[in-house]
Structures are given as C-alpha cells and as structure tokens.
Amino acid sequence: DEENILVMTSGGYIKRTSPSEYKKQKRGGVGVVDLNTKEEDFVTAFLKASTHDDILFFTDRGKVYQIKMYDLPEGRRSTRGKSIMNFLSVEGDEKVTSVLPLPKATRGKDVSVLMVTKNGTTKKVAAESFFDVRRNGIIAIKLAKEDTLVSADFVAKGDTSVLVTKKGQAIRFDEGNIREMGRSASGVRGIKLSKGDQV
C-alpha cells in the first residue's frame, strides 16, 4: 500500500507512476517531460492516491466506473500509458470527464459527490453510493436528451461551489443549497443559461 501518481490524457491513455519519478526543482527549473503524448493529446487528470484506493471514473454519459489503483498499468514518467478501454468497459464514443480517488477513510464520513452537466443541472449524491460499482459501470446521473456530464467532485459540509459557463457567466453557492439525492435522480437546476451557453 503506497502513494502513486495517476495521469490520464484526453485521448484516454492512463498510467500510474511512483512519486519519486518527479524530482523537486528550484526556481527557474526547466521542468521534466511527464509523458509523450500524441499530437493534440493533453493531460486531463493528475492526482495522488494510494494503490489500495478505489478510483471512480465519471463519463459524459452520466455513468461511473470503478477500478482499484493497483489495477492500473505502472509506467515510467516518460511512457504514455495504456488505453482506458483495456480496464473499463466504456463504449467507443464515451469520454471520461472526471477521475476521483475514493479512499476507504471516506466510508461513514459526511462526504458527497457533486455532479454538474453541460446544461447547468447539478446533483449531489452521498459518496457511499459509489463504494461498490459493478464492473460494467452504474448510472450516476439521469441525463436529459442532448445533455452530458461535465464534472464530478467531492464536496463536504460547508464547501462552496462555483459553476462557470462558456460565455463567462458564473454562479457561486453553498453545497447545502442542494439536497442529497438517490443515484437514479436527475438533479436540479444549478444555473440558468442563455441561448448557446454551456457550463
């Protein structure tokens, strides 16, 4: 059981690396190449988790998949990793939009997952609802037609959330303003959008 770094790219490549691969640099350091991405690919998730943690993958279709950190491929800093399709049964055009580590310590704690869709719908679900996710995934949020899940993140009591739109509008609210719902619920409106705008 040790700390690892998880790196995932927009193109769906994933790997875990030992933190020792990243050396501390002084001011003016030139940085190091983390992974050799293909043209137009870029890193979308970079997080630290224990090898025994469950990792949740939320997709644009409103589904969530789960895998143990140690099941992900271990790679050197400069390697690209393997395609997420090798580890999750996601459909061809389904895209992972959020990656969250779910430590065992979260069990029994007052922690929720706040989900936000492109059309401004928000939904809060107890983190405990995602402790046992089937291999082929479960529905995390019921989406309206033409809507997609853009973000999922942990919130605890007293946290504040800010939703920002493509056209530069923003709304800030206390997490307590949204009540916790069951997994099959659709959520509530988090922000009213003007025509052609999206979160």
Sign of the dihedral defined by the CA atoms of residues 142, 143, 149, 153, in that order: negative
Q: What is the pLDDT of residues 62-97, one digit of tens each?
A: 999 999 999 988 877 667 788 888 888 888 788 999
Asked if 139 contacts 183 with a C-beta cutoff of 8 angstroms, the reply is yes
pLDDT confidence tier of residue 185, bands split at 50, 70 and 90: confident
Q: What is the reported pLDDT for 31?
A: 59
Question: pLDDT by residue (tens digit) across 26-36?
Answer: 676 665 555 55
Give, as one character, the DSSP assignment of residue 194.
-
Q: What is the pLDDT of residue 34?
A: 57
Residue 189 has pLDDT above 70, yes or no: yes
Instruction: Give the pLDDT confidence of 133-166 residue by residue, as tens digits.
Output: 888 899 999 999 999 999 999 999 999 999 999 9
At 103, is the pLDDT very low, low, confident or very high (cuts 50, 70, 90)?
confident
Place of tokens 């061809």: 92
**DSSP string over 8-27:** EETTSEEEEE-GGGS----T
Q: Which residues have CB under 8 Å from 92's CB, separation 6+? A: none
